A and B are shown apart, each in its own frame.
Chain A
Amino acid sequence: GEDVEQSLFLSVREGDSSVINCTYTDSSSTYLYWYKQEPGAGLQLLTYIFSNMDMKQDQRLTVLLNKKDKHLSLRIADTQTGDSAIYFCAEDNYGQNFVFGPGTRLSVLP
């Protein structure tokens, strides 16, 4: 079946850029998503990219998609302590079959 993989932990210093990476196996993915989960809360959609795009920028967030290598990344510029959370990569096929990665716990050090 489809699989989504992420590294489990990332630590960065406040003000630095964070890059969270994700790989997936489903070549028929239509959308790829980044969700954020703060402590004690549910998942919130951060951003998403359609599979025919290479890059999407939204304020401090930059999503890069390499469809050939099935690699997705999320870059957070000027990382703040409020960005500390778990970030989930997810992919779907026309909303029929969401598959989530295990999540990357981002720790922002002062």
Chain B
Amino acid sequence: ETGVTQTPRHLVMGMTNKKSLKCEQHLGHNAMYWYKQSAKKPLELMFVYNFKEQTENNSVPSRFSPECPNSSHLFLHLHTLQPEDSALYLCASSRSGADGELFFGEGSRLTVL
């Protein structure tokens, strides 16, 4: 139990569906992250939020839309995805600034048919 909770753990969706991934942290952290982990590829940073403001968008396609309504919650809205978007999506949080140790959620495994 890392203090970072992701739902759903597994999601199967068609290319025309709209779905959302949710992440919640109870650690009092100010920074939250979305990572994508595909088979045989390094972990890829997608988005970073610091104090609810998006500070990094790592050239992610617009079919992925993040939302951070407050420092404890982070969403990833998905629409018109492609099969190659199938991956494990990991949420993480950290304190901003020095000693930015990341705490990861269990991940949401997404399959796009």
Q: How many residues of A contact B (CB 8 A)?
A: 23
Number of residues from B at the complex interface, CB < 8 A = 26
Query: What 0/1 pattern do residues 34 to 58 of B give for CB contact below 8 A with A?
Result: 0000000111010000000000000
Contacts of B74 on A, CB cut-off 8 Å?
none
Partner of A42, one of B42, B100, B107: B107
Give the secondary structure class of B's interface.
Answer: loop
Residue of A nearest to B90 (CB): A42
Contact residues of A between 35 and 89, Cβ < 8 Å to B: 35, 40-45, 48, 88
Q: Are B106 and A41 in contact (CB under 8 A)?
A: yes
Output the least CB separation between A34 and chain B (Å): 12
| Complex contact B100–A94 (CB within 8 A) | yes
Query: Which residues of A does B touch, CB under 8 Å?
Result: 4, 30-31, 33, 35, 40-45, 48, 88, 90, 92, 94-96, 98, 100-103
